[in-house]
Amino acid sequence: MSEKVEKGGISVETEHIFPVIKKWLYSEKEIFLREIVSNACDALTKLTRLSSLGEIGAIDEKLCVKVTLDKENNTLTVSDNGIGMTDEEVKKYICQIALSGAVDFIQKYEGESDEASKDGIIGHFGLGFYSAFMVSDRVDIETKSYTGGKPVFWTCSESGEYELREGDREERGTDVIMHISDDEVEFLTETKIREVLEKYCSFMPFEIYLEKAGEEKKEEGKEGEKKEEPKPINDTHPLWQKNPSECTEEEYKDFYKKVFNDYKDPLFYIHLNADYPLNFKGILYFPEITSEYESLEGQVKLYYNQVFVADNVKEVIPEYLLMLKGVLDCPELPLNVSRSYLQSNSYVSKLSAHIVKKVADKLNSLYTNEREKYEKLWLDIKTFVEYASLRDRKFYDRIKDSVLLPLTDGKFATVGEYLEKAKEKHENTVYYATDKKTQSQYISLFTSEGIDCVLFDKVIDASFIGLLEDDRKIKFVRVDADIAESLKGDGEKYENEDTVKLFREVSGKEKLNVKFEALKNKKLPAILNLSEQSRRLDDMMKLYAMAGKGGADAPSYTEETLVLNSENALIRRLETLDDDKKKVAAKQIYMLSLLSLRQLTPDEMQSFLSDSFDLLEKELD
């Protein structure tokens, strides 16, 4: 070993860096391992590049990274057989540049520290080599450069004092030896290290092995026992890096299940593969969605050259795409810059636009080429499509001709198809139901006339209706809204002012709107209608009030109209009955139409039941 020892102190400018690193990165300390292991992979990549450029000869040994846990010495070591460093390089890259880079970084985030740690943005965009000090009292480097020359040993304590001298390493490559601090002993356990490696390093491009040093290792490898071939932590050739034409359906599904821990198959996927200048790869999966709310919990993992960066980085991927699951590898992204930079970055907006286009293309191609399959998928992807359309008009414009309307009979129609069929009966109007069960009476009025009803029973549908109306210049009318012209027959007009009064009386609503219409369906005595506009207003108010008061089960619709069917015999007979009978019959008719409109309140239900039993008794007398 050489006698020459160089000592140095971290410059004045940066002397507080270690405490700052420790404090700031508190929430996501574990990323130190990602930083150190990815530096090791970089060193291996550089070596392979030199070899392929002919600068050095062929490499005949296996290039890999070893992560060694040594509980006896409280160290965690990351070793690689990459390019290594000369002492000049250690001085240049480790002592100066990296550190001043880190200072820049920290200054950039100074004002943002609270918010930044909340969002974990610093965790997303690590600090490089120095993040090792988040968990270590001291860090040593043993390195030997591929250029030959003497090995170098560098050691630095958490106070920032370093020493540089000739080292012991015999082979080309680097060991980064982290002396784990007493309060971070978690990082000396295999479970923790394995978990962190699996999270961040699962797809790094060189094999990574987790090993134990010292006694523990000996224990494991006792003589006579068959030694298992060590398995790397990672998959060095993740599916997204492959050419889509070389990937099988099975591979896509397996990859999905493994990466997202899902036992269900995805519905379909999109392999993204954008060349220069976007230069990114990825796979987006449409997961099977079982409930309206679950769908909002997607997971898009962002990678930087196969190094995991973070889940669901809102600044990079349009928020609505985060409902999907997938992986995106963007080596072009300047990941070590601030969130606001990412937000206004033109690369990021091009990237988003590209992904959005690909998603839209996929939906359109499924619609055009595999309509049957598309219809089967529709209910699972509908919420996504609606949400995405509402968030991004450009997305909607791309896919609008592939939007399907689910019909109450289980079939599907595009808006165009629906309007085409409706052309003669109800131009530019789409009838819809929001509840197949409670509105069944109304639905059947339409379907028996050959008019299709759309089933829009999700909360988000109401907003989507607004978008469709605005874009297509059409009207959506709920089945229980004002009686459609096409439900009216041409029967003779019958009206009776006394009957109107009678219904106002039995309903207990003095101002109830009552009108006569001759309906084609002669069997139905009466039906309650709600004006589409005032009901929508009501619905909106209810949504707002949801967080506040409950009791929404007795809605007070502002404009309720009782339509009496002048084609119905019972309605016509009412005027001929004696007073008591009239009231009993009118009340029953009113309650039945209320029952078809909505759930009765407990009081309404009680009175309806007792009236019905009375009627029954009288009938049987």
Q: How far is the CB of 467 from ligand ADP (least distance, A)?
A: 45
What secondary structure does DSSP assign to 433-480, as a single string? Answer: ES-TTTTHHHHHHHHTTT---EE--SHHHHHHHHHHHHHHT-EEEETT
Nearest CA among 482, 488, 506, 489 for reference residue 589:
506
Examine residue 238 and tell whether it contacts ligand ADP (CB under 6 A): no
List 94, 164, 327, 483, residue binding ligand ADP (CB under 6 A): 94
Examine residue 128 and tell whether it contacts ligand ADP (CB under 6 A): yes
Q: Residue 454: beta bridge partners?
A: 407, 432
Q: How far is the CB of 83 from ligand ADP (least distance, A)?
A: 6
The window from 37-45, 110-118, 370-378, 388-396 that contacts ligand ADP (CB under 6 A) reads 37-45
Examine residue 14 and tell whether it contacts ligand ADP (CB under 6 A): no
Alpha carbon distance 139, 74 (integer Å): 12
The alpha carbons of the chain give a radius of gyration, in whole angstroms, of: 35
Examine residue 129 and tell whether it contacts ligand ADP (CB under 6 A): yes
Nearest CA among 619, 575, 593, 618 for reference residue 608:
593
Tokens standing for residue 510: 């003095």
List 10, 47, 82, 461, residue binding ligand ADP (CB under 6 A): 82
List 14, 17, 39, 153, residue binding ligand ADP (CB under 6 A): 39
Q: How far is the CB of 386 from ligand ADP (least distance, A)?
A: 42
Q: How far is the CB of 128 from ligand ADP (least distance, A)?
A: 3
DSSP state of 252: H
The window from 20-28, 93-101, 448-456, 593-601 that contacts ligand ADP (CB under 6 A) reads 93-101
Examine residue 142 and tell whether it contacts ligand ADP (CB under 6 A): no
Instruction: Indicate the residue among 139 and 506 with the shorter CB distance to ligand ADP.
Output: 139
Query: End-to-end distance of the chain based on CA atoms, in angstroms?
Result: 116
Q: Spell out the long-range contacts of 2-5 with Cβ–Cβ below 8 A and sequence spacing 24 or more.
A: 2/150, 2/165, 2/166, 4/165, 4/166, 5/163, 5/164, 5/165
List 80, 207, 392, 567, residue binding ligand ADP (CB under 6 A): 80
174 sits in which H/E element: strand 173-180
Q: How far is the CB of 55 from ligand ADP (least distance, A)?
A: 16
Tokens standing for residue 280: 């990114």
Instruction: Indicate the residue among 105 and 590 with the shorter CB distance to ligand ADP.
Output: 105
What letter represents residue 487's amino acid?
L
Examine residue 93 and tell whether it contacts ligand ADP (CB under 6 A): yes
Examine residue 377 and tell whether it contacts ligand ADP (CB under 6 A): no
Cβ atoms of 389 and 466 within 8 Å: the answer is no
Nearest CA among 582, 581, 569 for reference residue 501:
582
**Bond prior to 277 in cis (omega within 30° of 0):** yes
Query: Which residues, other chains included, contact 329 with Cβ-Cβ below 8 Å and sequence gap of 6+?
Result: 238, 240, 241, 280, 281, 282, 302, 303, 304, 305, 306
Examine residue 306 and tell whether it contacts ligand ADP (CB under 6 A): no
Examine residue 35 and tell whether it contacts ligand ADP (CB under 6 A): yes
Q: How far is the CB of 179 from ligand ADP (least distance, A)?
A: 17
Examine residue 67 and tell whether it contacts ligand ADP (CB under 6 A): no
Cβ atoms of 472 and 427 within 8 Å: the answer is no
Instruction: Indicate the residue among 293 and 341 with the shorter CB distance to ligand ADP.
Output: 341
Q: How far is the CB of 40 from ligand ADP (least distance, A)?
A: 5
The window from 91-99, 162-170, 182-190, 419-427 that contacts ligand ADP (CB under 6 A) reads 91-99
Q: How far is the CB of 157 from ligand ADP (least distance, A)?
A: 18
List 21, 31, 37, 43, residue binding ligand ADP (CB under 6 A): 43
For ligand ADP, the binding residues in 392-411 under the rule CB under 6 A are none
| Interacting residue ranges for ligand ADP, rule: CB under 6 A | 35, 39-40, 43, 80, 82-85, 93-94, 98, 128-129, 174
